[in-house]
Amino acid sequence: MRTQVAIIGGGPAGLLLAEILHRNGVQSVVLERQTRSHVLGRIRAGVLEPWTIDVLRENGLAARLEHEGHRHDGVWIVWGGREFLIDINRHLGKQFVAYGQTNLQEDLFAAAERRGAALMTEAEDVQPMDIASQRPYVRFSVHGEAERVDCAGVLREYEKIYPFGWLGVLAPVPPLPEIAYCHSPRGFALASQRNPTLSRYYLQVPLDTRIDDWPDARFWQEIRARFPRSWAERIVTGQSIEKSIAPLRSYVAEPMQYGRLFLAGDAAHIVPPTGAKGLNLAVSDVYYLARALVEYYRDGSMAALDAYSSTALRRVWAAVRVSWYLTMLLHRFPDASAFDHRAQEYELEYLQSSHHAQVALAEQYAGLPL
């Protein structure tokens, strides 16, 4: 099989990249290790930045999200009986949209299917080969022996592991009207949504938590206990349809290029879910990468490809930093000292009282323009 671009991974980054390339006359093949139903069964965050929506719209991928997505002006931060709105629309004139990553993944699969894209699922032992040469290739198999491409020496990795995870529940009940991040002495909680009849809630939990220890009744009781009473009273509970635990981690690999291998999305960086930046970063990486690949195949110029890593990393670090900041701001750290608690409390007070601090957070929550 011959192609211009081999894409390893059929998540949002991989499929969106293939889509943008196709619309610009560049061929690609997508190799995905998992089955399609496995990929569609992964529940991820669901908050799309205005810039993410622009990219999806420009590429004919926004029809369903514009119909089903819920537009929001801002997010609430609540703690200790207090609350304030980070009003993104007021500060930046932009709205964001609540729309599940799972739904976007469905839209991307549907678009790939409509155009008969070269998309192979259950590809095993995928190996990029000769990536520093002019003739790179990728090996993959169904029953092959695994080899590894070693990029040691060029790759620098930055990682931070947080001492807790998020227990997430999806339930077919009406959500609170807004997205709310809640800091409480019992730990962090988040109220989010997928659509008017589907809610998504999270609890900060210790890393050794077992799902079996969290039947729905206990989950809802704990959600209500963490939110201030006025919020708790409005939370509608019901039987969950999905429950999972995700550990929290920040990770960046630099540079995002090695020879003719380019990293995008989760292959290059992981953010903790606080701030819902993962999918948005996948879209921005792929926006830059597609542009650079199209330029290469149209004009033979490597200029934009050579600049890809530094261009993409600007936005990556902005998102890595804000998701780290929100994680530190809102969680209860098991090893925190009295000083740490008081400083964290002050940070919340400062954010509530300072217009400038709110504008700065609104700007970061909305993400940098592309």
Q: Which residues pair with 191 in a beta bridge?
A: 180, 201
Residue 263 touching ligand PHB (CB under 6 A): no
204 near ligand PHB, judged by CB under 6 A: no
Which residue type does 331 have? H
Sign of CA dihedral 71, 235, 206, 346: positive
Residues 268-307 touching ligand PHB, rule: CB under 6 A, are 273-276
Size of the site for ligand PHB (CB under 6 A): 11
Catalytic residue flag (residue 365): yes
Q: Which of 200, 287, 258, 272 is nearest to 12 (CA)?
A: 287
DSSP state of 108: H
CB of 152 to ligand PHB, least distance (A): 33
Q: Which is nearer to ligand PHB, 11 or 273 (CB)?
A: 273
What does R_g of the chain's alpha carbons equal in angstroms?
A: 21
d(CA 282, CA 139): 24
DSSP symbol at 24: T
CB of 94 to ligand PHB, least distance (A): 16
The residue behind tokens 């992964």 is 42
> CA–CA distance from 353 to each of 23, 126, 191, 357, 358 (Å)?
47, 52, 23, 8, 9
> Three-class SS of residue 224?
helix
Whose CA is closest to 309, among 241, 274, 262? 262
191 binds ligand PHB (CB under 6 A): no
- Please give the Cα distance from 75 to 64 (Å, whole number): 23
Answer for which of 10, 11, 12, 46 binds ligand PHB (CB under 6 A) is 46
| Residue closer to ligand PHB (CB basis): 236 or 307 | 236
Shortest approach of ligand PHB to residue 292 CB, angstroms?
29
Q: State which residue, 14 or 278, has the beta carbon closest to ligand PHB.
A: 278
105 near ligand PHB, judged by CB under 6 A: no
Stretch that binds ligand PHB, among 23-31, 58-66, 267-275, 362-370 (CB under 6 A): 267-275
- State which of residues 200, 260, 269, 315 lies at the interface with ligand PHB (CB under 6 A): 200
- List phi, psi (to 5°) of 347: -60, -40
The DSSP 8-state label assigned to residue 241 in this structure reads S
**Considering the rule CB under 6 A, would residue 45 count as an interface residue with ligand PHB?**
yes
Residue 39 as a binder of ligand PHB (CB under 6 A): the answer is: no
Q: Which residue has the tokens 């964290």?
A: 344
Q: Which residue is nearest to ligand PHB (CB)?
A: 192
Catalytic residue check, 72 = yes
CB of 100 to ligand PHB, least distance (A): 7
Pick the stretch among 45-53, 203-211, 289-297, 298-306 that binds ligand PHB (CB under 6 A): 45-53
Among 192, 204, 257, 364, binds ligand PHB (CB under 6 A): 192
Is 30 or 281 the residue whose CB approaches ligand PHB more closely? 281
165 binds ligand PHB (CB under 6 A): no
Q: How far is the CB of 117 from ligand PHB (least distance, A)?
A: 27
Supply the minimum distance, in Å, between the C-beta of residue 82 and ligand PHB: 20
Q: How far is the CB of 201 from ligand PHB (least distance, A)?
A: 9
Instruction: Out of 162, 181, 201, 202, pick the active-site residue.
Output: 181
Answer yes or no whether residue 47 interacts with ligand PHB by CB under 6 A: yes
Q: Does 65 bind ligand PHB (CB under 6 A)?
A: no
Q: Note whether 31 and 120 are within 8 A (CB).
A: yes
| Candidate list 269, 273, 296, 331, residue with the active-site label | 273
181 part of the active site: yes
In the chain, which residue ranges form alpha helices assigned H by DSSP? Answer: 12-23, 36-41, 50-58, 63-68, 88-92, 101-114, 216-226, 229-232, 278-299, 303-330, 338-353, 355-366
Cα separation, 339 vs 316, whole angstroms: 31
For residue 49 the two structure tokens come to 């930045």
What six digits make up the tokens of 257?
A: 């290029």
Q: Give the residues lining the site for ligand PHB (CB under 6 A).
A: 45-47, 179, 190, 192, 200, 273-276
Positions marked active-site: 72, 181, 273, 277, 365
